[in-house]
Structure 1
């Protein structure tokens, strides 16, 4: 069996939001002579499952699951030990390979006679998706375009098959082009020949800055280096979660790495040429780490400065001055102080302006922030503080049962206070008690945010529950859709996500999206949605009572219609002609219409309601009750369909403006693909097709049931009636582990309305 040309090795840990993009960027390359070795470094998220999913689809992907976590370096080493390709390439799990990169790399390797190492350019991107040059482009352009004069060294026996490289002028050594040591010392901007890797026993180090020794070491030892003046990788700088963005003393390891490298280069035969270049690179890198507040905390800066200065003094080449600021820590602080004064003046001006704009209530809030936290106080909110709703309400009810020592209070707008159930303690937003509770509550639970101003204290615990599985683009992903992003402050969005301590997820899909759309340092809890517990705990009596309260006649097929919000349209009229649909459905069907909460009263719905054509349930507070009372869901692109799948009841998707919606808002799941796991049931593009789906029986036929089962398996793996208890125990009571979800075979779903009516008849008959 022929060995592949390339082995691409991807270590993966805590990168579930980006891993699909990384793996696809490799497997989708037109150049297909490769193996992709994805190494699961004991991921605590869905990374391992994503690797297995891709491996099941493409035999070129080999998944390795490590027995214990070791970090990026050991994970790469494990992949390299398994590799069979001519060349090894390394790619981090949140980075991507540029289109056609492998073909360009292969072409350059052949043109340069199979060098030991090939270096290429990269681009840098951040959470804003701003793409910046690497800084290596100028050197790579010169090295790729120009020849290297002078005699060539002999080629090692293992490489002679590649051709008479001794006569080549497009490969070089580090001594011939010492500027190569200025190229970013990373794992993913180079390919190394596998026989060279093994002959020289190359390996990444353990711990942080693991790529420094091998990146520089392979260049110092290489006899034949080539370059490619092309961006082949996009490197993502994470806001949170990586070693480089996590403050701590582990950054002192960088000093040790450079100490070893500078000691090594001093013994190199070409030390006179190489040592000054590596020294300059080390000095600039260490000073950059020291100046980065996201890496070295204030308490550790003196130690870092002392260690870095000692290393750079000890290894300073003859005639090379010590970099400015490394004479003493006091001198370094003086140099940095001038910049700090300028920044401080600007900050003071901004603070004065903010202070002038504060209301008396906000000043009161700031005073309350100085008081101690109440460890037994929980503040809840939902949907812009419109009342007791959604998953926060389910958590609140479970906490009253499981943790009665905790006092729950709801934040509610003045206009919504009359909707608060009797006996529920609440505060009106903006009142003095609201500011007091907001400042002093140990726990904060919301499905969105409490609004401004809100300053989360370090010891407060914020639980973000969300209010649905993401179908349409969310968070930072909205930047690609200007129509949907109008008026969104992405800076404020990131500030808000930075306040979360825990982030609930209903399924692996949501976990991936949240990590990418809201990149911050929270812990994702795979609990299921607490509001969905009702789908597993409701009884036949509950369902009969709900239908009676809503006015649904026994024996009637109730169809719940929930059109989604379309931010790009001003018209709030439902996309379906409801009068025609109700007429086409005929007797025996009842339409329950719930307009999106962002829409106000609709005269057309009121007229249809008054004419007896529909039941307008837009003002019904608990959507879970509407789902339980209905026989089927008719929706377009509402995230409610993911929750409704828990009930294992039919779903019909109205698809008329799918393409417009997808282009304007962006979607994560192709509801119309027809693939199991994507499409939840019957798809209909107009009123006639919707009515026909019901009259023909296709809405509940075996094919629709099979599609629904696959959809449910994908999007409801955690929902089992215990989500609220998981949340209360893990977040409010501090349990270390989450209760595991019940196996699907042990979950008891609420009975359908037909089953509930049948049980009622049996009870009435005394059976």
Structure 2
């Protein structure tokens, strides 16, 4: 008897069925049977299913003699299922990697509940994946399992069958079955949740719900959308036979009205001329099932009135008025924008006629975040206090700026005035389009990270990564640079080749890493507390490189599984690149999602070890002299698409794992902070951190703003004292530099100490 019976009905989904079935059979949890039901599909679905059955004995095929619809096809799968749990998956959707493993673990943790509810993400043709907006209902709240009365908010989730796993014995005992017609999930999911003796949740994306541009039922214009009335009649008939469930009638009534409004207002569902009839029937349905005591949110009262009184003509008049308003707003909205743009350009031209302000410096950073520009701005205020600084950032980032710094909103007249008259411009991002660098202005460009993968002009041969990069504009920007701040010799040689120009390279180190030398143990403890890292825990910062060659960022590690296997001593700080890069990791007390944290340096200070792959962050993190572990199972794909200047496997900063299990073993065995890891880190720091002694920003300020040529000497590697890790979390002696080596009777000290 398998643990899971995965039931996949298929009808006219031949383009997606292969990916769907492959996502099931490639699961890391193999204890399953796949029941694929060919609902007499006129395309090649039946042949695709037979092909999979021929190569994998876990596939059971059902060919229905005639088309019966999605609900009846699922019933056919239920009749043949033998697994402990039923999992439904539509033929154009997919399971996420390791989904069944996560389900099995959660079922075991919660004592095999009747129903397990998990999360999903909508995936679009563009590759974008958007997680369920009400995923907060799945977070842990009290003991599990529970009953619906303990967590009624679960009814706010999408009422579909495929975001839940059902214990087969419970389904048979409750007599659950799918009815015919559209919206067949409605009379299944509501009774299942209301009658389940035990329910559990899993805050993890397990299904990718494909949003097809055409062909799906909910985007098919048909009179069959009238089936929604019969489906809710079945739900209320079920309640009529179960007096113990009467408490749910007001909630279901409100959900029904919301659903009817959705069907009525969507333009792609009801045929032309049928809306009035639909609303008349909705009004009758409203009166038949109306239940006092159903609270209606203020924003939904208009829609409820629409259904209650059948206000079809009123709705049409409101729609026309809204369309007229939007059209008028678009026409009138363009004119002010054009006038504002022209006014700002004229203002900028006038400001360029005025003298430069030799004591003004303007700072800009990508997405308003700090990094190198913030470190340089701090150094300017310390070593060149006569220079007034201003920062360009959106209002949402103003609270992160140091007090006393002038704040400018991008695109305002004050911003363009500062661009025109500031003697110093410091940035780590593209210059403002339309910027004209004046005689006497100095532009300092700080690069974002050590070039590990190909950048600049080398991307001309990497179209998957370049994606329409305007290389002519890039070179025009390079011509405006006066100074480029570089961290090491490798970076200097690379930047000067891929960004050819007449600028001067300042190989002084990473200004953003200066903070790693000024922070104290108390600062580290405060940062860990603010992030929720338990005292005594080993904090693993997981920060993989962005895969520029794919639209949706792949899920490279099952962090919840890693945290479980490592035990309560370890906590993972997960840093993704952007919310829309893919479904976020399920945040828990063991995996903390820090993707939105604005300060990467703070995350480095708060952690005890970095896990990464090709990210330049490994070079920054090496300044802290804390362990770094590399993990990637797509080395060849990344190198082929992006290209590598430095293969981290040849000169690694620490232990290297080729799989998830190897990574777990590295931490479980202690190799991550052992003597070999320290030796590798020392050689890595010798190459990539020669100038990072905490005074990089000072050297840049003294050279550029003060004109000094005698700069502070670089502190040797073995004399540097970066911020200590959390003393209780890590074996400090293992982080010490390796002892001096003796060779041929002479004392030889390595460059890394």
Instruction: State TM-score, norm by structure 2.
Output: 0.51
- Match for residue 473 of structure 1? 454
Structure 1 counterpart SS, 2:633: coil
Which stretches in structure 2 are left out of the alignment for 5+ residues?
1-337, 733-753
| Contact 1:580/1:687, CA 8 A, preserved across alignment | no
Match of 2:343 in 1: 360
2:725 match: 752
Q: Does residue 1:382 correspond to 2:365, yes or no? A: yes
- Distance in 2 (alpha carbons) for counterparts of 1:499 and 1:548: 43
Instruction: Give the match's secondary structure for 2:546.
Output: coil
Rounded Cα–Cα distance in structure 2 between residues aligned with 1:639 and 1:757:
24
| CA pair 701-447 structure 1, distance change in 2 beyond 3 A | same
Does residue 633 (structure 1) correspond to residue 616 (structure 2)? The answer is no
Provide the C-alpha distance between the structure 2 equivalents of 1:358 and 1:507, rounded to a whole number of angstroms: 42
Deviations 1:75-123 (A, max 9, x none): xxxxxxxxxxxxxxxxxxxxxxxxxxxxxxxxxxxxxxxxxxxxxxxxx
1:581 counterpart residue number: 562
Measure the CA separation in 2 of the matches of 1:687 and 1:554. Answer: 26
Kept in 1, the 8 Å contact 2:446–2:485? The answer is yes
Once the two structures are TM-superposed, the CA of residue 572 in structure 1 deviates from its matched residue by 2.8
Using the TM superposition, give the Cα deviation of residue 600 of structure 1 relative to its aligned residue in structure 2, in angstroms: 3.7
Does the residue aligned with 1:519 lie in a helix, a strand or coil? Answer: coil
Corresponding residue to 1:655 among 632, 638, 645: 632
Cα distance in 2 between the residues matched to 1:488 and 1:408 = 32
What do residues 18-52 of structure 1 show as CA deviations (whole Å, max 9, x unaligned)?
xxxxxxxxxxxxxxxxxxxxxxxxxxxxxxxxxxx
From the superposition, tell whether residues 422 and 514 of structure 1 become closer, same or farther in structure 2 (CA, over 3 Å): same
Give the alignment of 1:187-226 within 5 angstroms: none
Q: Which moved more, 1:575-584 or 1:715-724?
A: 575-584
Contact 1:560 1:632 in 2 (8 A): yes
What is the CA deviation profile of residues 490-531 of structure 1, one whole-angstrom value per residue up to 9, with x for unaligned ones? 111111111111111101000000110100001101110111
Seen in structure 2, the aligned counterparts of structure 1 residues 573 and 420 have a Cα distance that, compared at 3 Å, is farther
Q: In 1, distance between residues paired with 2:341 and 2:386?
A: 35
Paired position in structure 2 for 1:624 = 601
Counterparts in 2 of 1:55-454, with a 5 A limit?
359-383=342-366, 386-414=367-395, 416-417=397-398, 419-454=400-435
Is 2:641 aligned against 1:668? no
Specify whether residues 601 and 669 from structure 1 end up closer, same or farther in structure 2 by C-alpha distance, changes over 3 A only: closer
**What is the CA-CA distance between 1:450 and the residue it aligns to?**
3.0
Deviations 1:105-161 (A, max 9, x none): xxxxxxxxxxxxxxxxxxxxxxxxxxxxxxxxxxxxxxxxxxxxxxxxxxxxxxxxx
Q: Does residue 569 of structure 1 match 2:550?
A: yes
CA distance in structure 2 between the aligned counterparts of 1:558 and 1:463, rounded to whole angstroms: 35
**2:517 is aligned with 1:544:** no
Q: What is the rounded CA distance, in whole Å, between the counterparts of 1:416 and 1:549 in structure 2?
A: 19
SS at match of 2:359: strand
| C-alpha separation in 2, matches of 1:689 and 1:756 | 22
> Hey, what's the Cα distance between the residues in 1 that align with 2:410 and 2:339?
22
Q: Distance in 1 between matches of 2:727 and 2:396?
A: 38
2:584 is matched with: 604
2:552 and 2:582 in contact (8 A); partners too: no
**CA displacement, residues 377-423 of structure 1 (integer Å, 9 cap, x when unaligned):** 0000111xx22500110111111111111111011135544554554
Shift in Å at residue 424 of structure 1?
2.8
Post-superposition shift, 1:444?
0.5
Matched residues in 2 for 1:658 and 1:359: separation?
49
Residue in structure 1 matching 2:495, options 497, 506, 514: 514
Q: Quickly say closer, same or farther: Cα 1:717–1:595, change in 2 above 3 A.
A: same
- 1:253-300, CA deviations, whole angstroms, 9 ceiling, x for partnerless residues? xxxxxxxxxxxxxxxxxxxxxxxxxxxxxxxxxxxxxxxxxxxxxxxx
The answer to whether the aligner puts 1:720 opposite 2:693 as a matched pair is yes
CA–CA distance in structure 1, aligned partners of residues 715 and 625 of structure 2: 16
Q: Deviations over 1:151-179 (max 9, x none)?
A: xxxxxxxxxxxxxxxxxxxxxxxxxxxxx
Shift of 1:684: 0.9
Residue matched to 1:705: 678
Compared CA separation, residues 371 and 464, structure 1 to 2 (3 A): same
Q: Is the 8 A contact 1:533 1:722 kept in 2?
A: yes
Are the counterparts in 2 of residues 409 and 427 from structure 1 also a CA contact under 8 Å? yes
Separation of aligned partners in 1, 2:474 and 2:617: 23
The range that moved more, 706-715 or 386-395, is 386-395
Against the structure 1 CA distance between its residues 549 and 630, is the aligned structure 2 distance closer, same or farther, given a 3 Å change threshold?
same
Residue 736 (str. 1) matches residue 709 (str. 2): yes
Report how many aligned residue pairs link the two structures.
395
Cα contact 2:551–2:581 (8 A) shared by 1: no
Greater Cα offset, 540-549 or 515-524: 540-549
Partner of 2:444: 463
Deviation at 1:448, TM superposition (A): 1.8
Cα distance between partner residues in 2 of 1:639 and 1:758: 26
> Which runs of 5 or more residues in structure 1 are unaligned?
1-354, 760-767
- Cα distance between partner residues in 1 of 2:517 and 2:410: 34
Secondary structure of 1:359's counterpart equals: helix
8 Å contact from structure 1 (residues 395, 530) kept in 2 = yes
Q: Is the 8 A contact 1:559 1:634 kept in 2?
A: yes
Displacement of 1:579 in angstroms is 2.1
1:754 CA drift (Å): 1.8
Question: Are 1:525 and 2:506 counterparts?
Answer: yes
d(CA) in 1 for partners of 2:603 and 2:521?
14
Q: Secondary structure of 2:447's match? A: coil
TM alignment of 1:16-31, pairs within 5 A: none
Q: Cα deviation per residue 1:335-381 (whole Å; 9 max; x = unaligned)?
A: xxxxxxxxxxxxxxxxxxxx999632122212211111000000001
Compared CA separation, residues 394 and 704, structure 1 to 2 (3 A):
same
Partner-residue secondary structure (3-state), 2:678: helix
Misfit runs of 4+, over 6 Å:
355-358, 755-759
Relative to structure 1, the CA distance from residue 706 to residue 755 in structure 2 (aligned partners, 3 Å threshold; closer, same or farther) is same
Per the alignment, do residues 418 and 630 of structure 1 end up closer, same or farther by CA in structure 2, a change over 3 Å counting?
closer
Q: Following the alignment from structure 1 to structure 2, what is the Cα–Cα distance between the partners of residues 358 and 748?
A: 51
Residues 600 and 409 from structure 1, CA distance in 2 versus in 1: closer, same or farther, beyond 3 angstroms? farther
Shift of 1:555: 1.1
Secondary structure of residue in 1 paired with 2:709: coil
> 2:117 corresponds to which residue?
none
Residue equivalent to 2:37: none
TM-score (norm 1): 0.50
Secondary structure of the 1:470 match is coil
RMSD over aligned Cα, in angstroms? 2.2
Q: CA deviation at 1:440?
A: 0.4
The residue that corresponds to 1:484 in the other structure is: 465
